[in-house]
A and B are shown apart, each in its own frame.
Chain A
Amino acid sequence: MIRAEGVGLRYAGDGEMAAVTPDGEAPEVLRGLSFSVPGGGWRWLLGPSGAGKSSLLRLLHVAARPTSGRLNLMGVDVGGARRHDLPPLRRRIGMVYQDFRLLSHLSVFDNVALPLRLAGRAEGQLRADVTEMLRWVGLSKVAAMRPPLLSGGEQQRAAIARAVIVRPLLLLADEPTGNLDDIQAERLMVLLQEMNRLGTTVIVATHNMQLVDRHPGQALELARGRLVRDA
């Protein structure tokens, strides 16, 4: 599923993630990461703020390419793949952001339907799947509402529904409980574990150790861009 061999990441260019060291070179935010995650596996992604968790998730979500080493996702060499090979790969990966990133100009229904539409699913065929997904996450009654009108928990569930509607092989979550109270956080964990039980590989980045203690599992721990634990 995931195989990383000496993976490093250095932000360059004029993007918002770019920064340069005094010698004019962009700093390497990830260095020499080597690990593998089998299909259907579960990994916590741990480490303090600034350790590189979000950067590793960006790599795994193909929002960035490794600047060194080799990263293989579902049989695709991310570093060497052609540009037009990446969108199909991204469609097999679900991503849950801490800030949800729901599109505020669309209804909850349309937000959840987005990945299906991008995959070319006909309008007549996607309605049943989206309706079922909204029922599964408990958002049937707010399907026509726009995200800014929802509570934080509802937005998070909408974001999860959008991430899993295409039944991804890999599900990534970046601090998914950061904006939720304990009860909503537990509900979210149940959803993620259910996806994992159905065969989806799940990687959850968090610094909430209480959450990890309640749901023990294998972990990748980062510190200053290096992998310090894989167990």
Chain B
Amino acid sequence: MRSGGSRLGQRRFDGLGLRHAPGWRVLPLMVAAMVFLAALAIAGAQGAAELGRHWQQGAGATLTVQVPRPGAAGAPGGSAGENRRDRVVTLLRGTPGVATVRPLGDAELSDLLRPWLGRSAEQLALPLPAVIAVTVTAEGPDLPALAARLEAAAPGTLTESHEPWVRRLGLLARSLRLCALAALVLVALVATAVIVVATRAALASRREVVETLHGLGATDFYLADRFARRASRAAALGGIAGLVVAAPVVVVLAALAAPFVGAPPAESGLPGMAELLATLQRLPPTLLWALPALPLSAAVIGYLAAQGAVRAWLRHLP
């Protein structure tokens, strides 16, 4: 006698015939699309966080101090410009929270003005203020108190902090991150809905089989577990496919964004293979564990969503 059952182990036994049920076939494709979008959302959130951090560390750590020279607008007459600048520099260097103090030379000032005034900037003989670039430590100085002391040392001195811009940039980065996380949650909800619909389609096609097994004494867990395993496997396969497609896209985007977070830009403007490999090594750890976790998350969502859908349907039976 040939026995159909002898070849089948308990774990492989497909008593519900789910292998051929509709619903599962399109599920990997749908989940792959969801995982692709989720990967982009995670990469976007991570990119926004990196950009925000870089901006805060760059612009937020600098001050610009302008010391009017005699004859310049706002400068009281009578004081020698160089002495005023030197007093301010000395005061700045002795201020706690100030890391570096660097007065800009005339050539540097001309370079800064050239975009606005053109090549004739040097010939205009404008009474330009002395400009001092200051970097501050993480703690930073007490800015209002520093401004008051500089004003006292050299009347008319302007202390320009980039803090409002930094705050705005930080807010922008946080908003982008929240939007990306909201997109991630939305993708998870849509994936859940897709899995529930696929499970219901499979249930509808196997209704008589489920009712027969229920009548033979199958527990709710047994029945729901069979569907959930199948949904979980389909979701995991889709998740892996989606990740395989998304990973190169994320790496290319990260390579393109690298110059904005401090990495040297590619000479040609477009990242080559060497830069892509370097970007791969520079990817934030958060991204390195979050992306591979997507197929696993899809599998878990698939299992739980299918369990819930089947158990809700089984409530129709006593």
- Chain A positions within 8 Å of B, measured between CB atoms, are 13, 15, 61-65, 83-84, 86-91, 95, 101, 103, 105-110, 113-115, 117-119, 122-123, 126-127, 130-131, 134, 140-141, 143-144, 162
* Cβ-Cβ contact count across A and B, 8 Å cutoff: 94
Size of B's binding interface in residues, CB under 8 A: 29
B215 within 8 A of A: yes
CB of B10 within 8 A of CB of A143, answer no
By beta carbon, the residue of chain B nearest A14 is B316
Distance of A110 Cα from B1 Cα, bound (Å): 13
Distance of A2 Cα from B211 Cα, bound (Å): 24
Q: List 30 A-B contacts (CB under 8 A).
A: A15-B316, A61-B215, A62-B318, A63-B215, A86-B318, A90-B216, A91-B216, A95-B215, A103-B15, A103-B17, A105-B17, A105-B20, A107-B3, A109-B3, A109-B4, A110-B8, A114-B213, A114-B216, A117-B15, A118-B213, A118-B216, A118-B222, A130-B3, A131-B1, A131-B3, A143-B2, A143-B3, A143-B4, A144-B4, A162-B216
Told that A13-B316, A108-B4, A109-B5 touch, could you supply 6 new A-B pairs with CB distance under 8 A?
Answer: A83-B220, A86-B318, A105-B17, A114-B15, A127-B5, A162-B216
Residues of B within 8 A of A130 (CB): 3, 5
B269 within 8 A of A: no
* B24 CB, nearest partner CB in chain A, Å: 15
CB of A101 within 8 A of CB of B212, answer yes
Distance of A110 Cα from B216 Cα, bound (Å): 13
The binding surface of chain A is classed by DSSP as helix
Residues of B within 8 A of A119 (CB): 217
CB of B5 within 8 A of CB of A123, answer yes
Residue from A13, A115, A144 with most neighbouring chain B CB atoms (10 Å) = A144
Residues of B within 8 A of A106 (CB): 4, 15, 17
